[in-house]
Amino acid sequence: MSAALTLRDGIFTLREAGIEDAPRDARLLMARAMNVPADRLTLHLQNPLAPAMAQAFARLIEARAARQPMAQILGERLFWGRSFEVTRDTLDPRPETEVLVQEALSRPFQSMLDLGTGSGCILISCLMERPDATGLGTDLSDAALRVAARNAARHGLTRAKFALSNWFRRIEGRFDLIVSNPPYIAAAEMPHLSPEVRGWEPASALTPGGDGLAAYRAIAAGLAAHLQPGGRVLLEIGPTQGAAVTALLRKQGLTDLRILPDLDGRDRVVSAQNP
């Protein structure tokens, strides 16, 4: 059977599974199975598909039909123009998080702390743009820290270090810039997430339970001891959490409080400064 006919069957399977963009996903999976660049796939579709490639494509389609995220199946995700390894131990880097990176890079910094670093995409993206800066990424997951370290090595970045810590518990010193994309989904919202998120991404990186604000309370409480005078903090938030998170930071004496929108106009990042 030709690759084109096999691809057609794969698209049908994904549509039956409720995949929103079945043709795109199936094409990417076929390109992976055939080991050709995705933008060159059309040139190969009329060729007979070798049995080993057909079997590989079937396995990939089966995984996607089970609603495993494409980034996990392919093992990587583009973020801020660079490729990052993604596994079930980390969140899938999302385009809206680039708002945080853009704001981080809007002003100089020498030292950076990324709390709950996951894949390391925020820390690594920022440090790659600031060759004179150093950074520390922390997480509660050893497995996530290993992914982050591999991503730093992938990009030849030696100025990023990684450590196991529950927010500030094992952190010493002060930083010019503290960032975090913490778990913020309220417990009541979890059942409404897409199957790709709810069933495949680490729950501990998605929700702290309760009202979703526990991580912000912990981070706010530790800023006085770890943020340099004049330093900045940038926190990704859910679209309804801006007022609550700014109130927590204001209570700790931070100033210049701003809520930044993502490209869809939803509240996405809270920015604040230490006086």
Q: Are residues 11 and 125 in the same domain?
A: no
Q: Are residues 231 and 96 in the same domain?
A: yes
Q: Are residues 53 and 131 in the same domain?
A: no
Q: In this structure, which amino acid lies at residue 118?
A: G
Q: Are residues 197 and 97 in the same domain?
A: yes
Run of H or E including 136: strand 134-139
Q: Domain range spanning residue 51? A: 3-66
> What pLDDT is stored for residue 1 in this prediction?
84
Using DSSP bridges, classify how beta strands 227-236 and 267-273 pair: parallel, antiparallel or unpaired.
antiparallel
CA angle 48-51-57, nearest 5°? Answer: 90
- Between CA 3 and CA 192 the distance in angstroms is 37
pLDDT > 70 in the chain, percent: 100
> What pLDDT is stored for residue 264 in this prediction?
94
- CATH number (domain holding residue 120): 3.40.50.150
Closest Cα to residue 231, out of 210, 209, 253? 253
Closest Cα to residue 142, out of 114, 158, 165? 165
- Number of domains present in the structure of the chain: 2
Q: Are residues 174 and 97 in the same domain?
A: yes
* Cα dist from 49 to 5, 39, 40, 54, whole Å: 9, 18, 15, 6
Residue 98 domain-assigned (yes or no) = yes
Q: In this structure, which amino acid lies at residue 91?
A: L
Residue 71 domain-assigned (yes or no) = no
> Which of 66, 95, 115 is the C-terminal boundary of a domain?
66
Q: Are residues 39 and 128 in the same domain?
A: no
Q: Are residues 38 and 152 in the same domain?
A: no
Q: Are residues 102 and 44 in the same domain?
A: no
Averaged over 177-200, what is the pLDDT?
A: 97
> Which of 66, 95, 117 is the C-terminal boundary of a domain?
66
Q: Are residues 96 and 184 in the same domain?
A: yes
Sequential DSSP letters for 106-128: TS--SEEEEET-TTSHHHHHHHH
pLDDT tens readout for residues 100-137: 999 999 999 999 999 999 999 999 999 999 999 999 99
- Between CA 1 and CA 165 the distance in angstroms is 53
- Return the bridge partners of 79, or none: 82
Closest Cα to residue 221, out of 252, 247, 250? 252
Residue-level length of the chain: 275
Residue 76 domain-assigned (yes or no) = no
> What pLDDT is stored for residue 250 in this prediction?
98
Q: Are residues 262 and 134 in the same domain?
A: yes
pLDDT tens readout for residues 247-265: 999 999 999 999 999 999 9
**3-class secondary-structure state, position 15:** helix
- Between CA 46 and CA 1 the distance in angstroms is 9
> What pLDDT is stored for residue 161 in this prediction?
98
Contact 184, 237 (CB under 8 A): yes
> What pLDDT is stored for residue 70 in this prediction?
98
Using DSSP bridges, classify how beta strands 111-115 and 160-164 pair: parallel, antiparallel or unpaired.
unpaired
Q: Are residues 176 and 209 in the same domain?
A: yes
> Which of 66, 100, 116 is the C-terminal boundary of a domain?
66
